Structure 1
Amino acid sequence: MAPLTDDTLLITDPALQATLEISKAAREQAQTVVDVFEKALKDAASSPGGAIPAEVLQQISKQQKLLMTYLAQLRGLHRNSHLKLRKTKTQSLESKHQVDSLHLQLQNLYYEQRHLQGEIAACEGFEHTYQSLPLIPVEDFLAQHPELANNEDMDENALMVARINHERAEREALEQQRLELQRRKTKLITENKKRREDLANLDKDLEKFIDAAKPIQKMFEKVA
């Protein structure tokens, strides 16, 4: 049998190191049993009776028991290694599933990131209606609101918001004026309609009065 090499020095797992040590001891013990048995056979062949002495048989039995002890230890270590290997495979499979799940989550995050970047780019390139609002010039606005001209917190965005609010306030005021004028117009139209109806009724009354006075007129004409 070939001797163990120094490659075992690369193994750092305590259980595997113990297995290799017991395996080496079992191999050496098996070789010892073989050597003792061969020597006993040779001695028996050269002796007159050709029998192996009892003390030699006892020594061989002792060496065999020691070998069986090593083999029992090897079987136990092999069983433990097998169980540990199954546990390691299970843990490796679970770790692989976790890595696959994390990788899938990472891909989803990359997809969400690209989607959000596209949405941001679309928002940045979107032409909002406020850009086409007929706002008054900045100089005129600041002239009407000098308190904003010296405001250090008034950046470009804040200034645009203030101008839009100003435009909204002006439009709301104009809308109120328009509604008031519309209300007054409606009232005048109603009053004019009422007056036209009154004049029409008056015309009818005059016509009735004239028709009723015609006989009297004719009577005065005859008297005259």
Structure 2
Amino acid sequence: MHADLPAQLVDLLRTLSDELVAQRLAQDATAPPFDPQQSLASSTPLFSALHAVNRDTLSFARDCKARTQDARLEMDSAHLRLQNLMFERNHLEREICKCEEFESEYQNLPLLPLEDFHNLAKLPTPPAGFTVPVPEDPHELMLARLQFELAERQRFEDERKELGTRKAALLKTNQAKKTKLEELEKQVDDFVVVSCSSRELSAVRGAEADLGRPSLPSQAAKSIQSNMHEEPAAV
């Protein structure tokens, strides 16, 4: 239906109503009574057309409302999906920031310098725990360096335990030798004391013999001998 048709119908109805009003005003007392049937007959098609336009307009309005509602629902659904995507993106960005700011223990480990690590790959026989060839990916390279560091530390730990065992055995041997030396030293001291006491007794007896005096009484001799036995114990 043409867009100007409602306006044309309204203009025609307005013209018809103006004519009816003019006829009523122009009517005098001698004229026959006013008969509206002719005007109604001419206006009926106009009103029918106007009702049809009204029905079409209402139907079009309902269709517009339905399409608008569908579009609103689709827009709300799209907005909800967008909000979910934005929430997920923000969550992932926060997790990425946490991962980037996370300080792991390996960051503080005194690893072998990268240049020395690459030089080990050039050796005819790389050490145990060394990955050959050296990975180019930074993540894989860091894993290889950590694996080599772990192997080296385990090797050092095994050497430390072995050296500790050897140290304990040497300490035990040294302690046994020290005890034996102390016993020998005690025996030497006892021998020296006995030798000194014997020489003193011989000297006394020789002096008495030179002076023509009798030998020491047996009690004095026993006293000297008891002193000889007591002195090592004191030492």
Q: Could you say which TM-score interval applies, normalised by the shorter chain? A: 0.5 to 0.7
- Match of 1:113? 89
The Cα shift of 1:142 comes to 1.6
What residue number does 1:18 align with?
Answer: 5
Within 5 Å, give how 1:1-224 maps onto structure 2. 17-39=4-26, 41-42=27-28, 45-46=29-30, 50-51=31-32, 61-146=37-122, 154=136, 156-157=138-139, 159-167=141-149, 174=155
Output the TM-score relative to the length of structure 1. 0.53
Q: Distance in 2 between matches of 1:155 and 1:169?
A: 21
Deviation readout 1:21-76 (Å, 9 max, x if unpaired): 2112211122223334444x23xx34xxx436xxx96xx64443121211111112
Cα displacement (A) at 1:95: 2.2
Contact 1:26-1:70 within 8 A present in 2 as well: yes
Q: Distance in 1 between matches of 2:17 and 2:150?
A: 103
Give the number of the structure whose residues are more often helix, by fraction.
1
Q: Give SS of 2:111's match.
A: coil
Change (3 A) 1:101 1:155: closer
Cα offset, 1:118, TM superposition: 0.8
Using the TM superposition, give the Cα deviation of residue 144 of structure 1 relative to its aligned residue in structure 2, in angstroms.
0.9
**Coordinate RMSD, CA, aligned:** 3.7
> Matches of 1:18 and 1:91 in 2, distance apart?
25
User: Structure 2: which amino acid aligns with 1:34?
Assistant: V
Q: Percent identity?
A: 29
Distance in structure 1 (CA, Å) of the matches to 2:17 and 2:48: 13
| Higher alpha-carbon deviation: 19-28 or 90-99 | 90-99
* CA displacement 1:98-138 (0-9 Å, x = unmatched): 22222222222222222111100000011223324453222
Q: Is the 8 A contact 1:30 1:67 kept in 2?
A: no
Distance 1:170 1:112, change over 3 A: same
- Any runs of at least 4 consecutive aligned residues in structure 1 with deviations exceeding 6 A, and if so which? none
Distance 1:156 1:77, change over 3 A: same
CA distance in 1, matches of 2:137, 2:77: 46
Aligned partner of residue 51 in structure 1, secondary structure: coil
1:32 maps to a residue whose letter is E
What count of residue pairs does the alignment treat as equivalent? 151
User: Larger C-alpha radius of gyration, 1 or 2?
Assistant: 2
Deviations 1:65-93 (CA, angstroms, capped at 9, x unpaired): 12121111111211221222222223222
